[in-house]
């Protein structure tokens, strides 16, 4: 018995899928950041550093060191999940360093199971962002963030 789907045999169907489009990197200098209350895990493309995943604290000095590390590696854009409030503090620092920040929907980024660590999350965000597979959850500029770190009404 032959397995037929949509009038085509499975062999024919497999042959067509062999011509699927390839993914191309759209953002060569993209980073992924998993932000938390006590630290940020940052992943950059492995070709840019022998240790492409770094952890930075959340104090202001550490945030500046994080931004400088990204600039040193010519990172131009970062993807961060739009969960919690931990990303707010780095927004102005990144913007002042010329780094484009994309807040992405956590559901899109977490659609693939199996990533249970902050390191894996940061690497996954970096990879998806490099391929242009994440959508910005909210586009904003620094004037939209109030002095207390909240949204202006």
Does residue 136 lie in a domain region? Answer: yes
Split at pLDDT 50, 70, 90, the class of 113 is low
54 or 112, higher pLDDT: 54
Does residue 11 lie in a domain region? Answer: no
Q: Which helix (H) or strand (E) holds 96?
A: helix 88-96
* Total structural domains within the chain: 1
Domain that includes residue 118, residue range: 22-144
DSSP state string for 21-59: PPP--S-TTEEEEEE-SSEEEEE--GGG-SS-EEEEESS
Split at pLDDT 50, 70, 90, the class of 77 is very high
Mean pLDDT of the region 92-113 = 82
112 or 37, higher pLDDT: 37
Is residue 105 exposed (0-12), middle (13-18) or buried (19+ Cβ within 10 Å)?
middle
**Residue 72 contacts by C-beta under 8 Å, 6 or more apart in sequence?**
none
Does residue 16 lie in a domain region? Answer: no
pLDDT in tens, 8-29: 554 544 454 555 578 899 999 9
Residue 136: CATH number of its domain: 3.30.420.10
């Amino acid at each position: 018995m032959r397995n037929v789907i949509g009038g085509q045999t499975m062999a024919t169907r497999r042959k067509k899928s062999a011509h699927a489009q390839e993914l191309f990197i759209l953002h060569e200098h993209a980073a992924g950041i998993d932000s938390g209350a006590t630290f940020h895990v940052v992943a950059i493309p492995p070709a840019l550093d022998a240790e492409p995943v770094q952890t930075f604290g959340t104090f202001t000095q550490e945030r500046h060191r994080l931004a400088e590390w990204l600039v040193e590696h010519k990172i131009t854009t970062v993807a961060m999940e739009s969960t919690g409030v931990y990303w707010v503090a780095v927004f102005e620092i990144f913007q002042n360093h010329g780094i484009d920040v994309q807040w992405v929907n956590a559901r899109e980024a977490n659609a693939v199971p199996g990533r249970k660590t902050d390191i894996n999350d940061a690497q996954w965000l970096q990879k998806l962002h490099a391929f242009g597979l994440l959508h910005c959850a909210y586009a904003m500029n620094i004037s939209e963030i109030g002095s207390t770190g909240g949204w202006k009404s």
